[in-house]
């Protein structure tokens, strides 16, 4: 497993580099190894342990295996890929998620992957802020950020309301079969309600706004912010629906600076008069 020639670079995100196994060991066929990028402060073992604390409630979390790795292995993969990889003692093995090639980006946080020949669809959703909105605000965090960026808005909070799910799905432009299958799943599944329960943090805007150092960041906030960055894949085939949750990475408390900057940026939007006409459904105009 520690032979770098058996791994090839696949892709990278903001925090991790992914390498696909191309060797002959059947234990790793169809698997990838996820390695931390050099600028990350949280190591793989800590993330592995962090993710496992959520498994009792989030049954769809992607399977993970923590394996020891050598410095030589890391250096070889860094050289092969040209990517700066964190010096670490472990990597995380996961199944390779294979998506249909045809992609339609509906919004920044929603994409559709379709296989028209086999009539398969995978919906990628980054549910972001699932939380109770403070009563003194007009817009939720999702809507405020989308209005600020002038981006297409499909608020993930709609997924918590059965009266809004059909309209939410209709806006994706799916064929009738996929539309019915996805609507049925969203109406019958408690997944997004569980994510809400785990993400929700009382007075989160106020709490973030008052932070001045890493030492002030409560563990509950670290957990909440990590859950706000997960990605959910809902794969629809004939009579089968498969759900996979990825990207549950523990946040380092130093991230509070970025969170606070965003709150300062969006603070006025939560109640700005000029966008009252764009209110979230939860706070209808009076």
CB 246 within 8 A of CB 260: no
In our burial notation (b when 16+ CB lie closer than 10 A, e otherwise), range 200-236 reads ebeebbebbeebeeeeebeeebbbbbbbbebbbbbbb
pTM for this prediction: 0.92
Q: What is the pLDDT of residues 110-125, one digit of tens each?
A: 999 999 888 899 999 9
Q: Please report the pLDDT score of residue 281 as a whole number.
A: 52
What is residue 38's DSSP assignment? T
Q: Please report the pLDDT score of residue 285 as a whole number.
A: 37
CA 22 to chain centre: 27
Q: What is the mean pLDDT of the chain?
A: 91
197 — pLDDT class (breaks 50, 70, 90): very high
Strand order in the sheet with 16-21: 7-12, 16-21, 31-36, 90-95, 65-68
Q: Please report the pLDDT score of residue 274 as a whole number.
A: 52
Structure tokens at 32: 């990838």
Structure tokens at 57: 């409630």
The CATH class that applies to domain 4-95 reads alpha beta
CB 58 within 8 A of CB 189: no
Distance CA 235, CA 156 (A): 18
Q: Please report the pLDDT score of residue 237 as a whole number.
A: 87
Q: Please report the pLDDT score of residue 272 as a whole number.
A: 61
Q: What is the pLDDT of residues 248-285, one digit of tens each?
A: 999 999 999 999 998 888 877 776 655 555 556 554 33
Q: What is the pLDDT of residues 75-112, one digit of tens each?
A: 999 999 999 999 999 999 999 999 988 999 998 899 99
Q: Please report the pLDDT score of residue 286 as a whole number.
A: 35
Q: Please report, for the chain, the start and end positions of each structural domain, with discontinuous segments joined by +.
A: 4-95, 102-278
Q: Please report the pLDDT score of residue 183 as a whole number.
A: 97
């Amino acid at each position: 497993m520690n032979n770098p020639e058996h791994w090839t670079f696949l892709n990278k995100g903001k925090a991790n580099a992914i390498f696909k196994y191309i060797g002959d060991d059947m234990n790793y066929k169809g698997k990838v190894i996820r390695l931390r990028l050099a600028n990350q402060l949280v190591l793989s073992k800590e993330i592995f342990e962090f993710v496992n604390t959520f498994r009792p409630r989030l049954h769809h979390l992607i399977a993970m295996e923590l394996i020891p790795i050598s410095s030589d292995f890391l250096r070889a993969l860094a050289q092969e890929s040209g990517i700066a990889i964190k010096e670490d003692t472990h990597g995380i093995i996961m199944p390779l998620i294979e998506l249909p090639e045809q992609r339609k980006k509906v919004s920044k946080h929603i994409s559709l992957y379709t296989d028209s020949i086999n009539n398969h669809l995978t919906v990628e959703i980054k549910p972001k802020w699932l939380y109770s909105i403070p009563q003194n605000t007009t817009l939720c965090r999702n809507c405020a950020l989308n209005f600020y960026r002038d981006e297409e808005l499909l608020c993930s909070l709609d997924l918590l309301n059965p009266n809004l799910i059909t309209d939410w799905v209709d806006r994706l432009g799916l064929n009738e079969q996929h539309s019915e299958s996805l609507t049925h799943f969203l109406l019958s599944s408690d997944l997004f309600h569980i994510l809400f329960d785990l993400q929700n943090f009382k007075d989160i805007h106020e709490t973030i706004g008052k932070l001045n150092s890493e030492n002030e960041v409560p563990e509950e906030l670290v957990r909440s912010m990590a859950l706000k960055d997960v990605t959910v894949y809902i794969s629809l085939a004939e009579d089968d629906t498969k759900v996979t949750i990825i990207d549950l990475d523990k946040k380092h408390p130093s991230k509070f600076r970025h969170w606070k900057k965003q709150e300062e940026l969006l603070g006025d939007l939560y109640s700005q008069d000029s966008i009252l006409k764009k209110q979230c459904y939860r706070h209808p105009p009076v």
